[in-house]
Structure 1
């Protein structure tokens, strides 16, 4: 069962990586990042609703605490999707995915502030290493016209911070209800937030255009199937293993950008990416093993 669960986590990370590339294709065709984010979440909502219908027991939907924390998770995932796609549109899939992978660092910083986690020299050193990696990856010391824009850097980091918000919301909602109920509320909140914020004309016309298969694949892989696989897989996968497997997401997204979207990374950017991926993974493994 443990091997199968690890495979579920691996597939979820792979699908999330592919979703970044698919979103890159859609936005290159002129689709608004908010519209792309809306469809990723709205189609995901259909899947988690079906999951809840099949497994309705102990949903906790009558508990207001579940709703409060789940809505917080929804705000986090809405921000994560949107800022991630904005970062892609302002830079590249590889840079955006790697910046989003910094989410565990934000989790640690928030945990330090809330006194949920004890800061140690090792953790602070890891955070400094990640910051150095961000500088090398984004080359913020030498922004080029055809490179990552400052907005792309900020949006990428905000996508990681938003994912940290989702993690906290999901964690504190979990004692009050089932994972499927939490995801239903979270994706419903996402849909209600993003629909009015996006280009309404694009949103209403999207599924009637030649791009509709990409929107469907994005929603199915990027939210519907992946979140279900990830939640189920985590039940029987050691946190340290999950942390290592999660590296598949930015690597897959980066390869998609290079192979399909013809993106390129120079030497310092590759060094920065490697520094971030290895440091964040090591930090997650060490933390989860304690």
Structure 2
């Protein structure tokens, strides 16, 4: 079962990587990042609702604490999806995906601030290495026309911070109810937040345009099937292994950007990406193996 569970986690990461590329295609075609994010979450909501219907026992839906933490998770996933696609629209899939992968660093920083994690010199060095990687990847010291914009960099960082918020909400909701119930509440919150914020005309017309297969694929792979596979896979996958396998997401998204969207990363940008991916993975493995 451990091998199957790891495969589930890997598939989830692969689907998340592909969803970044698909979202990039939609944004490049002129679709509002908020609309793209809404459909990703709303279609995902259909899947997790069906999952909850099949596994409705001990859902915890009557527990106020589940609702509170799930609300936090919903705010996190709404911000994660939205800032991710904004970052893509202001830069590239590869840069946005790699910046989002910095989420564990934000988890550590929040944990330090809340006293949940003890800071050590090694962790501070790792965080500094990630920051150096971000500088090299985004070339923030030498912004060029047509490259990643300051908005793209900020949005990418905020997508990682939002994902950290989702992680905290999902983690602390777990003792009070089922993961199915948490995801249903989180995706419902996402849908309620993003529906009025996006372009109303685009939202109403999206599924009636030639782009509808991309929207459906984005929702199915990027939220519906992937989150279910990830949650199920984590049951029998060691955290250290899951942390390594998660690197499939930014690598897949980056390859999609290069092969399909004709994006390019050169020189120090590649060094920065490698520095971020390797350091974050090592940091996650070290933390989860304790």
Q: What range is the shorter-chain TM-score in?
A: over 0.9
SS in 1 for 2:264: coil
Q: How does 1:85-96 map to 2 (within 5 A)?
A: 85-96=85-96
Helix, strand or coil at the partner of 1:12: helix
Q: Which residue of 2 aligns with 1:198?
A: 198
Alpha-carbon distance in structure 1 between the residues aligned to 2:287 and 2:62: 34
TM-score for the superposition, normalised by structure 2: 1.00
- Partner residue, 2:76: 76
Look up the match of 1:127.
127
SS state at 1:88 partner: helix
Equivalence for 1:163: 163
What is the alpha-carbon distance in structure 2 between the residues aligned to residue 266 and residue 279 of structure 1? 20
SS in 2 for 1:218: helix
The reply to whether residue 141 of structure 1 matches residue 141 of structure 2 is yes
Q: d(CA) in 2 for partners of 1:241 and 1:43?
A: 29
The residue that corresponds to 1:55 in the other structure is: 55
Structure 1 counterpart of 2:103: 103
Q: Please show how residues 39-50 of structure 1 align to structure 2 within 5 Å.
A: 39-50=39-50
Normalising to structure 1: TM-score of the pair?
A: 1.00
Task: Report the counterpart of residue 236 of structure 2 in structure 1.
Answer: 236
RMSD: 0.3
Q: Hey, what's the Cα distance between the residues in 2 that align with 1:258 and 1:169?
A: 34
CA drift of 1:232 comes to: 0.4
- Uncovered stretches (5+) of structure 2, i.e. residues with no partner: none
C-alpha displacement of 1:266 = 1.2
Match of 1:23? 23
Partner residue, 2:216? 216
| TM-superposition CA deviations, 1:157-182 (whole Å, max 9, x none) | 00000000000000111000000000
The separation in 1 between residues aligned to 2:197 and 2:114, in whole angstroms, is 31
Aligned residue pairs total: 290
Gaps in structure 1 of 5+ consecutive residues:
none
